[in-house]
Amino acid sequence: MSNTEELFSNPQLSIQHLPDADQLEMAMLEPAYKTVRYISAILISIIVVLVSWFTLIIQFKDWPYSFYLFVFIVMVSLWSILYSGIAFKYMGYAIREKDISFKSGWLWRHMTTVPFNRVQHCDIKQGLIDRRFGLSRLTIYTAGGQSTDLMIPGLLPDMAERLRGFILSSTEQSADEGL
């Protein structure tokens, strides 16, 4: 890795020795969440396939390419089911003293980091399928807008509760220090 390139000149501190969010041990999500992912991917795929079957095979059956398009959609659906299972392995979260990171994605990887002193509020939700498997999802909201909200699915309810408690107390603490 070519770390010889400096992030910016005149650094007051050595950038390379700052705590690196990538060196963290990522905590995995509950294994049951993999099943939840499979189920929801399958449900969505079934709906998509049914709708496209209805429109392409029944409504527009005269269109010469409708069958190929339908096959393509079925393949994409199968792929998305497969992907949802593989991608599970790449999901994880890590908490440091002052921030929380969440990574996801197998081919397209994303990692979001939110400092606790920017958290607006947190909530815990349970989807229909989540509830059957006894799982919760924790969402952390910042003022940065919807695309930056950090959602950690596949947590045990008491773990989600503990995480929320920790985050909120850290947020409060940093707010107190700020004043």
Q: What is the dihedral of CA 112, 152, 17, 97, to 10 degrees?
A: 130
Q: What would you report as the CA-atom Rg of the chain, rounded to the nearest whole angstrom?
A: 21
Instruction: Pick the closer one to other proteins by CB: 6 or 51.
Output: 6
Which two tokens mark 53? 């079957």
Closest alpha carbon to 85 in 140, 29, 161: 29
> Where does this chain bind other proteins (CB under 8 A)?
1-3, 5-13, 15-16, 18-22, 98-99, 107-118, 120-121, 141-148, 150, 174, 177-179
Q: How far is the CB of 50 from other proteins (least distance, A)?
A: 27
Least distance in Å: CB of 78 to other proteins? Answer: 20
Pick the closer one to other proteins by CB: 146 or 158.
146
Measured from the CB atom, the residue of 61 and 98 that comes closer to other proteins is 98
Provide, rounded to whole angstroms, the least separation between the CB of residue 151 and other proteins. Answer: 13
Shorter beta-carbon distance to other proteins: residue 8 or 158: 8
Terminal Cα-to-Cα distance of the chain (whole angstroms): 41
Angstrom distances, CA of residue 178 to CA of 114, 144, 171, 173: 18, 20, 11, 9
**CB 124 → other proteins: shortest distance, Å?**
16
